[in-house]
Amino acid sequence: MFDDGSDELFEGIWPFMKRALLLFMPLWVYLICWSAGLNLFISAIAAGMSLTFIQIFEKMKLKRHLESNSAGENVIK
């Protein structure tokens, strides 16, 4: 298994949170858009785009985590 570092995000809870978000986030977004009276097509597109935000959030957090780890290793010798 490849170590991508995502298991260290949010004190190790991120893999479980990510699975729950990938499952429920599109459903929540769709239901919110549908109950707001938006068109069915627009609600479905908004629900699909919510998955992209989860991936972008994970990449930003991983980048920040890797930068903070590498900042500690930059010691002038």
What pLDDT, in 10s, does the model give residues 38-77? 999 999 999 999 888 888 888 888 888 777 767 666 555 5
Alpha carbon distance 29, 5 (integer Å): 28
Cα end-to-end distance, the chain, whole Å: 35
pLDDT at 32: 93
pLDDT at 72: 60
Evaluate if residue 36 carries a pLDDT over 50.
yes
In this prediction, residue 8 has a pLDDT band, given cuts at 50, 70 and 90, of low
With a threshold of 0.85, does the pTM exceed it? no
pLDDT at 37: 93
Alpha carbon distance 26, 35 (integer Å): 14
Domain positions in the chain are 14-68
